[in-house]
Amino acid sequence: MDLNTVLSKTPDAAYRVYDGLATIVLPSRSEVNVLNPVASLVWDAIDGRRTLAEILESVLRDYEVPREEATRDLLEFVNALRAQGMVN
């Protein structure tokens, strides 16, 4: 996976955002995940249209973090989402 990747949320995932925190329910795994604010921003932006590079720019606009570090964290996070079946 690289920054050109476009991801979609799995249709299985039910979610809402409370106080900027995405709360995601995966029925098939009986799991509820509450993401931190940066991860929530990324989750909310995954829409089947935007590339990870575009999502990275949103993160950098909202948070003061070195680009290299943000890129690494973003790729790590979306890989984890994919491994859990939350995005494809």
Residues that bind other proteins (CB under 8 A): 11-12, 14-19, 21, 23, 25, 27-28, 30, 32-34, 36
Crossing angle between the packed helical segments 52-62 and 67-83, to the nearest 10 degrees:
130
Question: Please, what is the minimum distance in Å from the beta carbon of residue 30 to other proteins?
Answer: 6
Q: Identify the burial level of 47 via C-beta atoms within 10 angstroms of its C-beta, where 0-12 means exposed, 13-18 middle and 19 or more buried.
A: exposed
Question: Please, what is the minimum distance in Å from the beta carbon of residue 6 to other proteins?
Answer: 20
Residue 51 CA to residue 72 CA, distance in Å, equals: 15
Nearer to other proteins by C-beta: 3 or 32? 32
Nearer to other proteins by C-beta: 4 or 30? 30
Nearer to other proteins by C-beta: 23 or 58? 23
Using CA atoms, how far residue 84 sits from 53, 56, 59, 64, 78, in Å, is 22, 21, 22, 28, 10
Nearer to other proteins by C-beta: 25 or 75? 25
Question: Please, what is the minimum distance in Å from the beta carbon of residue 20 to other proteins?
Answer: 11
